[in-house]
């Protein structure tokens, strides 16, 4: 009788453990190599190992910050500047890991377009997304290089991609992510010059992208946050050591992507996930303070405690 009771207790305990907790992760955009570690964790069963049943979705009308902040998604992909903006507006999201250690975005233009540096931007046309952040960055960069930012023309590009915009003469230069738009343009035969943001000024070497969750989830279920990051960390570490296999996994889940671009992009980005950091996901307080201070000085956000915007506590 005692054996039967113990067996029933064991089976009940096992059944509880075997019920995976459903988790939703919302991306910032369509799937790309910033997200590879998530898909690797899904494909390799790393989430399952942590008792998590994960769905990866794309945003629709609402942003990742809005969806996570309101509890309609558990985790999301964001960027340091968007987290800062969100918290300034009272959206309770927290960055829990840096996907890439250094900002791989920057300004790019055709080598044949008459631009050698931002000093030559006067009279040229910038392909804009129409944000105040861009204007502030353009103004700061122009000041660094002795150009008058008011003489830079801007055009809002909407859904026009970088390569198309250059080819059609819609704009002369744009702020892009080299690991995706830059490589994509080169694969299309365009000879571009790329100026990384972190080479312009250290203040622009901020975390882009990051993984976020809500203050509520951290408070109510920190164990889920920890388990999620254990699985995701394994996914990105695998992507670092197996870039070719990781690219194929991403293509399996997003077959609509250009396979050549994914493979080249993954080869590039796998070298940047952890560089100069003690481990994957680590966030330096100085990086957060530095860029927040710049945003505040440029009137983009009010006074706030930026240390509450991120945490390393749940990293494995």
Determine if residue 201 is left, alpha or beta; phi over 0 gives left, psi from -120 to 50 gives alpha, anything else beta: beta
In this prediction, residues 202-211 reach a mean pLDDT of 97
- At 309, the pLDDT band (50, 70, 90 cuts) reads very high
- Give the pLDDT confidence of 107-138 residue by residue, as tens digits: 999 999 999 999 999 999 999 999 999 999 99
- Within 10 Å of residue 225's Cβ, how many Cβ atoms? 23
| Spatial separation of the C-alpha atoms in residues 175 and 161, rounded to whole Å | 11
For residue 281, the cross-strand partners are 98
In this prediction, residues 265-270 reach a mean pLDDT of 98
In this prediction, residues 144-167 reach a mean pLDDT of 95
Mean pLDDT of the chain: 94
Please give the CATH topology (third level) of the domain spanning 105-204.
D-Maltodextrin-Binding Protein; domain 2 (3.40.190)
Architecture of domain 20-102+207-309 in this structure: 3-Layer(aba) Sandwich (3.40)
Q: Determine if the peptide bond prior to 179 is cis (ω within 30°).
A: no
Q: Kindly report the pTM of this predicted structure.
A: 0.92
Question: Do the domains 20-102+207-309 and 105-204 sit in the same CATH topology, yes or no?
Answer: yes
- At 39, the pLDDT band (50, 70, 90 cuts) reads very high
Task: Supply the angle between the helices 222-241 and 36-43 in degrees, to the nearest 10.
Answer: 100
| Spatial separation of the C-alpha atoms in residues 105 and 232, rounded to whole Å | 23
* HSE-CB of 187 using CA atoms within 13 angstroms: 16
In this prediction, residues 138-149 reach a mean pLDDT of 96
Mode of pairing for the β-strands spanning 75-78 and 210-214: antiparallel
Tell me the domain boundaries of the chain: 20-102+207-309, 105-204
| Cα radius of gyration (the chain) | 21
- At 18, the pLDDT band (50, 70, 90 cuts) reads low
| Spatial separation of the C-alpha atoms in residues 237 and 242, rounded to whole Å | 8
Q: Which pair of tokens denotes residue 162?
A: 């970088």
């Amino acid at each position: 009788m005692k054996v039967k009771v113990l067996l029933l207790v064991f089976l009940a305990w096992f059944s509880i453990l075997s019920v995976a907790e459903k988790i939703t992760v919302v991306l910032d955009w369509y799937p790309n190599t910033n997200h590879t570690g998530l898909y690797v964790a899904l494909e390799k069963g790393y989430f399952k190992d942590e008792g998590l049943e994960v769905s990866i979705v794309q945003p629709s009308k609402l942003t990742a910050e809005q969806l996570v902040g309101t509890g309609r998604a558990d985790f999301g992909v964001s960027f340091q500047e968007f987290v800062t903006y969100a918290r300034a507006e009272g959206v309770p999201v927290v960055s829990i890991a840096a996907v890439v250690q250094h900002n791989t975005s920057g300004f790019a233009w055709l080598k044949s377009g008459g631009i050698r540096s931002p000093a030559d931007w006067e009279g040229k046309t910038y392909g804009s997304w129409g944000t105040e952040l861009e204007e502030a960055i353009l103004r700061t960069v122009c000041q660094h290089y002795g150009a008058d930012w008011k003489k830079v023309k801007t055009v809002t590009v909407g859904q026009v991609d970088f390569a198309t915009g250059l080819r059609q003469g819609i704009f002369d230069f744009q702020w892009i992510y080299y690991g995706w738009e830059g490589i994509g343009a080169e694969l299309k035969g365009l000879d571009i010059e790329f100026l990384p943001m972190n080479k312009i000024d250290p203040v622009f070497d901020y975390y882009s992208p990051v993984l976020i969750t809500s203050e509520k989830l951290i408070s109510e279920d920190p164990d889920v946050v920890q388990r999620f990051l254990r699985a995701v960390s394994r996914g990105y570490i695998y992507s670092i050591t197996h870039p070719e296999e990781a690219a194929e996994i991403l293509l399996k889940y997003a077959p609509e992507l250009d396979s050549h671009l994914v493979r080249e992009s993954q080869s590039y980005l796998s070298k940047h996930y952890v560089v100069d950091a003690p481990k994957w996901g680590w966030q330096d307080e100085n990086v957060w303070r530095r860029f927040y201070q710049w945003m505040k000085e440029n009137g983009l956000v009010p006074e706030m405690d930026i240390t509450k915007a991120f945490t390393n506590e749940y990293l494995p």
